[in-house]
């Protein structure tokens, strides 16, 4: 008698695998060429700018990463919207007074309460500094601590192009604060008859608003990036930037007012220097709080403003030139 043994699970699996292998076919060998669009170095830089901005704004990340950008941007717009609202209300007050109050009282009240264009930057200087202290370490320190810098440099980017793309992303984000609120104020003032007189003056004012906003964004971008290039710890870089900005402002003011230091020391006042720069671009000295000392000379303001940017560039380049990167 011949006994038949039922197939085991292993033999069944082997038979199934053999049937699958028998049906498998190799259709092609080798590598396929990339047939998509080739954007080259410019495309790589655009990608870095895009994803850097998304990371800083918390896009595609948890909500807690969106809190600081949203709050800072909102805080920077609030004063300018309030000033436009005051202009609107005081204009309505003048229109509806019907002789009860002297003509122009509403405009006089508005002149006391609202800010002019260069003066508006002084009201949001802390918001600008806070945003710069958050964004630059987030997008620079993280790349070095996580090893992403090596991956970036393994692409068509070199160190100069990588830094340029990062700086553009940070500067564009800061421009939301330094340019956006001023444009809101210019639009609101113009619509209420409180803006520049004539189309030519309006174009000049617009050019100054854009130029000052971009310059102040670049000023804070480079200083924050320089500090972020020294350490890989985001918290340390953010804290150092805030301490430097506020501490330099306090020390410069004390030195000028109490110690009667030379007036060029005012170029180290990182709190008031950007606002003073804005006033000089608009053609008049700003109300720096160094009383009873005289206002800073214009050359001191410009030298200090652009000098900080130049020193920051040197620090950034030196740190990244000597940084060891594993690709």
DSSP 287: -
User: Is the four-CA dihedral 51, 54, 56, 59 of positive or negative sign?
Assistant: negative
Q: CA 282 from chain center: how many Å?
A: 23
pLDDT at 283: 87
Question: Whole-angstrom Cα distance, residue 213 to residue 177?
Answer: 8
Question: Whole-angstrom Cα distance, residue 254 to residue 234?
Answer: 30
Is residue 70 helix, strand or coil? Answer: helix
Domain ranges of the chain: 40-322
How would you write the pLDDT of the chain (327 residues) with one tens digit per residue? Answer: 444 555 554 555 555 555 555 577 666 666 666 666 777 788 888 888 999 999 989 888 888 888 989 999 999 999 999 999 998 888 887 777 665 556 567 677 777 778 888 888 888 888 999 999 999 999 999 888 888 888 888 878 888 999 999 999 999 999 999 999 999 999 999 988 887 888 899 999 999 999 999 999 999 999 999 999 999 899 999 999 999 999 998 898 888 888 888 888 889 999 889 999 999 999 887 766 576 777 888 899 999 999 999 999 999 999 988 877 665
pLDDT at 28: 62
pLDDT at 19: 54
Number of Cβ within 10 Å of residue 240's Cβ equals: 19
The secondary structure of 169-229, three-state, reads HHHHHHHHHHCHHHHHHHHHHHHCCCCCCHHHHHHHHHHHHHHHHHHHHHHHHHHHHHHHC
Whose CA is closest to 70, among 215, 169, 173, 219?
A: 173
User: Is the four-CA dihedral 255, 305, 122, 104 of positive or negative sign?
Assistant: positive
Apex CA 214: angle with CA 77 and CA 265, to 5°? 100
Decide if 120 contacts 181 (C-beta within 8 A): yes
CA atoms within 13 A on the CB side of 327: 8
pLDDT at 285: 77
Measured over all CA atoms, what is the biggest interatomic distance in the chain, rounded to whole angstroms? Answer: 126
Question: Whole-angstrom Cα distance, residue 14 to residue 11?
Answer: 5
pLDDT at 90: 85
Question: Whole-angstrom Cα distance, residue 90 to residue 129?
Answer: 32
What's the whole-model pTM score? 0.83
């Amino acid at each position: 008698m011949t006994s038949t043994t039922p197939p085991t699970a292993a033999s069944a699996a082997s038979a199934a695998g053999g049937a699958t292998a028998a049906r498998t076919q190799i259709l092609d060998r080798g590598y396929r060429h990339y047939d998509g669009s080739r954007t080259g170095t410019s495309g790589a830089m655009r990608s870095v700018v895009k994803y850097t901005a998304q990371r800083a704004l918390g896009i595609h990340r948890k909500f807690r990463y969106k809190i600081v950008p949203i709050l800072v941007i909102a805080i920077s717009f609030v004063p300018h919207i309030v000033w436009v609202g005051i202009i609107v209300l005081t204009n309505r007050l003048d229109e509806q007074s019907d002789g009860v109050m002297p003509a122009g009282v509403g405009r006089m009240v508005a002149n006391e309460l609202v800010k002019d264009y260069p003066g508006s930057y002084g009201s949001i200087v802390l918001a600008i500094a806070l945003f710069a202290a958050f964004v630059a370490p987030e997008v620079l320190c993280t790349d070095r601590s996580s090893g992403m810098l090596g991956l970036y440099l393994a692409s068509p980017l070199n160190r100069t192009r990588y830094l340029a793309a990062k700086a553009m992303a940070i500067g564009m984000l800061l421009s939301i604060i330094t340019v956006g609120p001023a444009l809101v104020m210019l639009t609101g003032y113009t619509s209420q008859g409180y803006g520049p007189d004539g189309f030519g003056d309006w174009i000049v004012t617009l050019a100054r608003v854009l130029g000052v906003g971009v310059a102040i964004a670049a000023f804070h971008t480079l200083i924050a990036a320089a500090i972020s290039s020294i350490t890989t710890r985001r918290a340390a870089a953010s804290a150092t930037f805030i301490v430097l900005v506020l501490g330099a402002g306090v020390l410069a003011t004390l030195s000028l007012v109490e110690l009667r230091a030379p007036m060029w020391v005012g170029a180290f006042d990182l709190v008031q220097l950007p606002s003073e720069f804005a006033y000089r671009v608009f053609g008049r000295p700003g109300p720096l709080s160094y009383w009873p000392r005289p206002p800073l000379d214009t050359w001191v303001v410009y030298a200090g403003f652009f000098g900080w940017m130049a020193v920051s560039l040197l620090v950034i380049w030196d740190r990244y030139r000597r940084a060891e990167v594993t690709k």
